């Protein structure tokens, strides 16, 4: 696709091509904001390709030197992109007087595309009555202290839908702190029943196999995670959603002076200059705070009032101190707050808000086709799987469909995972998520015990019984209507057997069905029960389809986090 497009985009994995691309752009002095946005879209695509490559390639298949090169290339591209936006801002400020507003005498502009919203306001007249401004096209705004309203100052709100800050903070955290780990005794306790990789339990459901999982959990208390400092954001627990807002106060450079047929301007050999301001140094401390109003992105779901945090460049981390008087308007999708200085800010949301899941279901839709539905306390997410790809079918929040911008688009599991996270819907636990979510003792928090991979034309659901063993109901259905003949089975990590009770029994009983044979795994149990027609479908299933189902089930870790 890259070569067919013929747009000059380099192969990001070839260092020479990438260096040439960056060098040519650095030497390009056309600093129009719109042109920077267009070129920036190419840069963001290169960054995304490198990041997906790093995530999707197993460590044993990528040399350490190549991985380090890709990571360095990502950082260079991110830095170059920000430099270009700063250069375009400076270029625009030099000619601000040419675009002054007829009513206020000041200059304001909004330029945006799908990745960036660029808002700039220049205080040319320096009048107190114009100390606040709302960018109508973006619905971002501010209210300045009196001292700033009388200064030669420009306010820039640069909203990027991407976040190039948090990855730096996570890297710093991983380099300076040890990961929280369970003791050997706790790990053994959690995994004593099901987390046994030697069992090789296969539960991937292909062809026309439907599965509903509603594990009732013997919950453990939510682990307490002690932060290094209360104001520092723990990015394992809270994640920025909706991108980053760069809010800057800038020095206004000398403006063009018209004299007869001459246009004169003082040239300064400096770059974009920040206007220094701190409420602690202001003369009137009672009216020194800066009020900011931000419109929340339409393509992001906020399930609750987001936490506002600012980026500390010296500590390379997000912080929450210094932010006050937060007002969240859910209906209007806006948030207003005050801060004592100009910062880059982000809106944070609990990374585990949708965990544990209420239920999940994998339902067949034909050969090499299925639907995965995950129901949380806040949303219902349905993903369609077909062949080697998957597609977000719907995300329903309070019976309303959201995230329409990514609905109905076929993509790889890894790309879909990233898109849902960017949209604020995270149903993908990380290795450390068991520190923040109460998980069942039935399945280890590491999730290593299950190979989710049994293709079969059965309906199967895991039911919420208050017992340590895993209970499931199974029904073979080669046709859509043949789903009524349910049988209940129990698996304790060592053997699987059929139970005597039925779905409508008043009480749970471990009594086994007469002449019930036990099997070492659920895979062998269901295989032994299957008809010839069912097994023919199993053997005819595509390996690519199996891999997509495997990736999605492994990423959602439904056995552990339901």
Tell me the CA end-to-end span of the chain in Å, nearest whole number.
40
Q: Within a domain: residue 202? A: no
Q: Within a domain: residue 371? A: yes
Handedness of CA 471, 473, 474, 479 (dihedral sign): negative
Tokens (6 digits) for 383: 């993903």
Q: Which of 294, 328, 350 corresponds to the end of one domain?
A: 350
Beta strands in 185-231 (DSSP E): 201-202, 210-213
Name the burial class of residue 62, with classes exposed (0-12), middle (13-18) and buried (19+) by CB atoms within 10 angstroms of its CB: middle
458-462 and 210-213 strand pairing? parallel
Q: Which of 342, 338, 148 is nearest to 245 (CA)?
A: 342
- What pLDDT score does 253 carry? 87
Q: Are residues 421 and 517 in the same domain?
A: yes
Q: Are residues 262 and 296 in the same domain?
A: yes
Q: Which of 332, 350, 368 corresponds to the end of one domain?
A: 350
Beta-bridge mates of residue 34: none
Q: Within a domain: residue 169? A: no
Interacting residues of 406 by C-beta distance below 8 A, sequence separation 6+: 299, 392, 416, 419, 420, 423
Beta strands in 376-430 (DSSP E): 380-386, 389-397, 400-401, 410-411
Q: Which of 69, 88, 107 corresponds to the end of one domain?
A: 88
Q: Within a domain: residue 221? A: no
Q: Within a domain: residue 172? A: no
Q: Are residues 448 and 374 in the same domain?
A: yes
Q: Report the domain count for the chain.
A: 3
Q: Is residue 238 helix, strand or coil?
A: strand
For residue 197, the 8-state DSSP code is G
- What pLDDT score does 25 carry? 94
Angle subtended by helix axes 15-27 and 64-94, to nearest 10: 10
Q: Are 199 and 449 in contact (CB under 8 A)?
A: yes
Q: Are residues 346 and 363 in the same domain?
A: no
3-state helix, strand, coil in the chain (%, to 5): 30, 25, 45
Q: Which residue has the tokens 């609990």?
A: 350
Q: Are residues 380 and 419 in the same domain?
A: yes
Interacting residues of 285 by C-beta distance below 8 A, sequence separation 6+: 279
140-143 and 290-295 strand pairing? antiparallel
> What are φ and ψ of residue 381, in 5° steps?
-110, 125
Domain that holds residue 364: 359-556
pTM: predicted TM-score of the whole model, two decimal places: 0.83
Q: Are residues 387 and 509 in the same domain?
A: yes
Q: Are residues 71 and 128 in the same domain?
A: no
- What pLDDT score does 479 carry? 66
Q: Are residues 366 and 482 in the same domain?
A: yes
Distances (CA, A) of 184 to 191, 198, 213, 436: 11, 18, 29, 19
Q: Are residues 370 and 333 in the same domain?
A: no
Q: Within a domain: residue 220? A: no
How large is the greatest C-alpha to C-alpha distance in the chain, in angstroms?
A: 106
Name the burial class of residue 76, with classes exposed (0-12), middle (13-18) and buried (19+) by CB atoms within 10 angstroms of its CB: middle
CA distance 524 to 494: 12
Handedness of CA 533, 538, 540, 541 (dihedral sign): positive
Q: Within a domain: residue 229? A: no
CA distance 36 to 91: 12
Beta-bridge mates of residue 401: 396
Q: Are residues 461 and 503 in the same domain?
A: yes
Handedness of CA 228, 230, 236, 242 (dihedral sign): negative
Q: Are residues 21 and 153 in the same domain?
A: no
For residue 256, the 8-state DSSP code is P
Q: Are residues 388 and 486 in the same domain?
A: yes
Name the burial class of residue 454, with classes exposed (0-12), middle (13-18) and buried (19+) by CB atoms within 10 angstroms of its CB: buried
For residue 390, the 8-state DSSP code is E
For residue 81, the 8-state DSSP code is H
Distances (CA, A) of 255 to 102, 251, 441, 519, 557: 17, 12, 68, 83, 59
Q: How many beta carbons lie within 10 A of that of residue 37, not counting itself?
A: 20
Q: Are 207 and 457 in contact (CB under 8 A)?
A: yes
- What pLDDT score does 496 carry? 83
Tens of pLDDT along the chain (562 residues)? 656 666 678 999 999 999 999 999 999 987 899 999 999 999 999 999 999 999 888 888 888 889 999 999 999 999 999 999 999 999 999 888 888 888 889 999 999 999 999 999 999 988 888 999 999 999 999 999 998 999 999 999 999 999 999 988 776 665 554 444 444 444 444 433 333 333 333 444 333 333 333 333 334 444 444 444 558 999 999 999 999 999 999 999 887 777 777 777 777 777 789 999 987 776 666 678 999 999 999 999 999 999 999 999 999 999 999 999 999 998 999 999 999 999 999 999 999 999 999 888 887 777 888 889 999 999 999 999 999 999 999 999 988 899 999 999 999 999 999 999 999 999 999 999 999 998 754 433 333 333 333 444 444 445 444 445 667 777 776 665 455 667 788 877 778 888 888 777 788 788 888 877 888 877 787 778 778 877 777 778 888 998 998 899 899 988 788 8
Q: How many beta carbons lie within 10 A of that of residue 486, not counting itself?
A: 14
Q: Which residue has the tokens 């949303």?
A: 379
CA distance 462 to 489: 9
Q: Within a domain: residue 272? A: yes
Q: Which of 505, 447, 443, 499 is nearest to 471 (CA)?
A: 499
């Amino acid at each position: 696709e890259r070569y067919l497009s013929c747009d000059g985009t380099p192969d990001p994995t070839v260092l020479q091509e990438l260096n040439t691309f960056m060098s040519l752009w650095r030497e390009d002095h056309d600093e129009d904001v719109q042109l920077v946005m267009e070129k920036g879209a190419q840069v963001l695509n290169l960054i995304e390709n490198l990041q997906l490559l790093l995530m999707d390639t197993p460590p044993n298949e990528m040399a350490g030197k190549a991985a380090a090169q890709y990571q360095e290339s990502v950082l260079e591209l991110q830095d170059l992109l920000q430099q270009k936006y700063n250069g375009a801002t400076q270029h625009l400020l030099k000619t601000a007087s040419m675009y002054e507003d007829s009513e206020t005498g000041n200059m304001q502009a909004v330029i945006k595309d799908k990745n960036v919203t660029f808002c700039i306001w220049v205080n040319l007249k320096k009048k107190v009555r114009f100390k606040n401004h709302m960018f109508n096209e973006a619905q971002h705004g501010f209210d300045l202290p009196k001292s700033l309203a009388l200064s030669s100052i420009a306010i820039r709100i640069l909203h990027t839908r991407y976040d190039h800050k948090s990855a730096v903070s996570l890297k710093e955290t991983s380099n300076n702190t040890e990961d929280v780990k369970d003791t050997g005794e706790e790990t053994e306790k959690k995994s004593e029943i099901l987390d046994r990789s030697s069992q090789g339990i296969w539960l991937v459901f292909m062809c026309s196999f439907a599965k509903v999982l509603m594990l009732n959990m013997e919950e453990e208390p939510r682990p307490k995670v002690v932060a290094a400092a209360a104001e520092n954001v723990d990015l394992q627990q809270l994640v920025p959603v909706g991108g980053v807002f760069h809010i800057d106060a800038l020095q206004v450079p000398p403006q063009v002076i018209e004299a007869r047929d001459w246009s004169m301007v003082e040239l300064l050999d400096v770059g974009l200059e920040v206007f220094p301001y701190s409420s602690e140094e202001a003369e009137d401390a009672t009216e020194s705070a800066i009020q900011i109003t931000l419109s929340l992105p339409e393509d992001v779901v906020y399930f609750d009032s987001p936490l506002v945090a600012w980026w500390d460049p010296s500590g390379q981390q997000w912080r929450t101190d210094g932010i006050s008087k937060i007002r969240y308007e859910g209906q209007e999708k806006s948030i207003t707050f005050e801060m004592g200085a100009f910062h880059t800010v982000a809106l944070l949301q609990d990374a585990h808000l949708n965990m544990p899941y209420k239920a999940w279901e994998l339902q067949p839709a034909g050969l090499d086709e299925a639907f995965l539905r995950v129901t949380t306390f806040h949303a219902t997410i349905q993903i369609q799987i077909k062949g080697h790809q998957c597609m977000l079918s719907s995300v329903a929040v309070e019976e309303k469909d959201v995230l329409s911008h990514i609905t109905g688009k076929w993509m790889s599991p890894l790309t879909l995972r990233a898109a849902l996270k960017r949209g604020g819907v995270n149903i993908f636990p990380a290795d450390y998520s068991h520190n923040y979510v109460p998980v069942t003792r039935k399945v280890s928090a590491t999730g290593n015990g299950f190979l989710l991979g049994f293709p079969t034309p059965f309906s199967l659901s895991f039911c919420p019984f208050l017992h340590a063993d895993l209970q499931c109901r199974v029904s073979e259905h080669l046709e859509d209507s043949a789903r009524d003949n349910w049988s209940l089975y129990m698996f304790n990590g060592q053997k699987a057997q059929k139970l005597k009770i039925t779905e409508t029994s008043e009480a749970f009983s471990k009594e086994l069905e007469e002449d019930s044979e036990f099997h070492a795994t659920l895979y062998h149990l269901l295989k032994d029960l299957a008809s010839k027609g069912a097994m023919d479908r199993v053997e005819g299933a595509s390996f690519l389809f199996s891999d997509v189902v495997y990736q999605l089930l492994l990423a959602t870790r439904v056995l552990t986090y339901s």
